[in-house]
Amino acid sequence: MVKLAANLSMMFNEVPFLDRFAEAAACGFKAVEYLFPYDFAPDELAEKLNAAGLQQALFNLPPGDWENGERGLSSLPGREDEFMESLEKALTYAKALKCPRLHVMAGMRQHGANTETYVANLKKAAKRAALDGVNLCIEPINQRDIPGFFLATTGQAVDVIEAVDEPNIGLQLDLYHLQISEGDLAMRTRALLDRVEHIQIAGNPDRHEPDIGEVYYPFLFDLLDGLGYQGWIGCEYRPKGETKAGLSWAADYGVSV
């Protein structure tokens, strides 16, 4: 059975961030994800999560200087210490939020990203995260949304995961990005599933609700069920209008308003 997690960076933007937990739970979501928790204290977030009876499915490591275009540190030579510090910060939050997985963003080609640094950093980070029982994921992102993002395709991600060769690193399969970059969603999902740690969805090409656009998600959900996928599916989309008004697509999966 498909398990949907609300992405609180994009959904429920009608209310302040800390109020989005209760909104998501009221609609029937059992888990949430978001980009970054770092504007708030871990205890404050844990209290919101617990009060709403939600699980924390995923969040990202600090990405570096976001305002100035940084999108992760893990592949940037000369930033290794900063990267490990960012991991420690994320692990502190993961512990407070009982979050079993973290997304490690790759970084930008134009900032000097390279595979050797990426693999070495991920290996060290995976070993450290394993001590806390946390898994890491890497996510290929399409070059239209983030031109120059270092991790561009699932093939590259699989090569990196194989080179890192640690049991707690896997793929964050965002089907919105995959549709733009590679297509052939069902066949690729089937081939990649044993590497997948987390899935995200949105309608293509505008990143609105999954029932708006060119991808037919009910087919992919049935496929995932048939393949025995047990993980979360993060709803990482920008609602076209009001969040709740656009949730009817999720009624068959335990979410309604």
Ligand X SMILES: O=C(O)[C@@H](O)C(=O)CO
**CB closer to Mg ion, 10 vs 46:** 10
Candidate residues 48, 103, 198, 208; the one interacting with ligand X per rule CB under 6 A: 103
Give one DSSP letter per residue of 158-175, joined into a string.
Answer: HHHHHHH--TTEEEEEEH
Q: Does 197 bind ligand X (CB under 6 A)?
A: no
Tokens of 101: 């997985």
**Is the Cα torsion angle 33, 155, 82, 112 positive or negative in sign?**
negative
By CB under 6 A, what part of segment 58-77 binds ligand X?
Answer: 60
In angstroms, rounded to a whole number, what is the distance separating the alpha carbons of residues 40 and 86? 16
Candidate residues 35, 52, 84, 130; the one interacting with ligand X per rule CB under 6 A: 35
242 annotated active-site: no
139 annotated active-site: yes
Indicate the SS3 state at residue 5: strand
In angstroms, rounded to a whole number, what is the distance separating the alpha carbons of residues 130 and 166? 9
**CB closer to ligand X, 47 vs 238:** 238
In angstroms, rounded to a whole number, what is the distance separating the alpha carbons of residues 71 and 92? 21
Q: Does 174 bind ligand X (CB under 6 A)?
A: yes
Binding footprint of ligand X on the chain (CB under 6 A):
35, 60, 103, 105, 139, 141, 174, 177, 200, 236
Binding footprint of Mg ion on the chain (CB under 5 A):
174, 200, 236
Active-site residue list: 139, 236
